[in-house]
Amino acid sequence: MKKIPKDFYNPNEQEWICRCKICNSNLLEGNTPFALEKAIKVFPEIKAKEVIFEIAICDNCASESRKSLSKQSLTDIETFMTGDQVRENMMKCVEESYENGGDTFGYCIITGVPKEFINEFQIIAQCQSGFLLPGTEAFMISSQGIEIIQDLLSPETKEELDRFKNEHFGIPPEFENILNPGDLVFL
Ligand SMILES: [Zn+2]
């Protein structure tokens, strides 16, 4: 089993977020799979990084939340995420990871753009206990890729995600234009 990549760790606490954002259950205990998502902005001029938000959501809460999203949006996203373009980009990331010590964040899985050209992105992973869910890998999605996913969403679904974001996040206002409602990949 593969460990959760260090990129998800909080630099001060040396730990990833291990409580579900919605039900607050401890994700280190038990076997409920969960998703980790972390949005990062890079400032290349000053070689700095800022974490815009990070979140863990257990499978139970995610499937509960999904019920309020339109079936059409969910089908459209699934079709897109399992399509050739995304699959090829994922394979490229995995192939390269064999040569760079296991880093699967080399390219945006939606656009295929290499990470050195990306300043705003999210890393995502499906996990279980302290490991990646067997058979899955952690991946990166650029802000451009997130826009492409958002275009697949119906207005009702966008509204619902908006509501979710307001309920569970306080995103700093300076980032509101960078990360829009609906940026959460796993809902
Ligand atoms: Zn939960």
Integer Rg of the chain from CA = 16
Per-residue pLDDT averaged across 125-135, rounded? 91
Report DSSP letters for 153-182, one per residue: S-HHHHHHHHHHHHHH----GGGTTTS-TT
Q: Is residue 183 part of a domain?
A: no
Q: Is residue 148 part of a domain?
A: yes
Question: Which residues are CB-neighbours of 88 under 8 A, at least 6 positions away?
Answer: 112
pTM of structure: 0.85
User: How far does the centroid of ligand 1 lie from the alpha carbon of residue 63, in Å?
Assistant: 10
- Listed residue (159, 162, 135) closest to 1, CA to CA: 135
For Cα atoms 84, 86, 88, give the angle at the middle one, nearest 5 degrees. Answer: 65
Q: Is the dihedral of CA 3, 144, 85, 157 positive or negative?
A: positive
User: How far does the centroid of ligand 1 lie from the alpha carbon of residue 4, in Å?
Assistant: 19
Return the structure tokens found at 92. Answer: 């490229």
User: How far does the centroid of ligand 1 lie from the alpha carbon of residue 19, in Å?
Assistant: 8
Whether 51 has a pLDDT exceeding 80, the answer reads yes
Number of domain units in the chain? 1
Whether 170 has a pLDDT exceeding 60, the answer reads no
Q: Is residue 180 part of a domain?
A: no
Q: Is residue 181 part of a domain?
A: no
Is 92 within 8 Å of 106 (Cβ atoms)?
Answer: yes
Q: Is residue 59 part of a domain?
A: yes
User: How far does the centroid of ligand 1 lie from the alpha carbon of residue 121, in Å?
Assistant: 24
User: How far does the centroid of ligand 1 lie from the alpha carbon of residue 21, in Å?
Assistant: 7
Confidence band (pLDDT; 50, 70, 90) for 14? low
Q: What is the pLDDT of residue 177?
A: 44
Domain interval for residue 87:
6-175
Is 132 within 8 Å of 53 (Cβ atoms)?
Answer: no
Confidence band (pLDDT; 50, 70, 90) for 145? very high
Is 23 within 8 Å of 31 (Cβ atoms)?
Answer: no
Q: Is residue 19 part of a domain?
A: yes
Return the structure tokens found at 106. Answer: 């080399």
Q: pLDDT over 90 for what percent of the chain?
A: 48
User: How far does the centroid of ligand 1 lie from the alpha carbon of residue 162, in Å?
Assistant: 19
Strands (E), 4-147: 34-43, 48-58, 120-128, 131-132, 139-142
Q: Is residue 71 part of a domain?
A: yes
Q: Is residue 187 part of a domain?
A: no
Alpha helices in 12-154 (DSSP H): 59-66, 71-81, 84-97, 143-150
Per-residue pLDDT averaged across 144-162, rounded? 84
Per-residue pLDDT reduced to its tens digit, 172-186: 444 444 444 345 555
Whether 126 has a pLDDT exceeding 70, the answer reads yes
The overall average pLDDT reported for the chain is 85
Per-residue pLDDT averaged across 66-72, rounded? 82
Per-residue pLDDT reduced to its tens digit, 97-119: 999 989 999 999 999 999 999 99
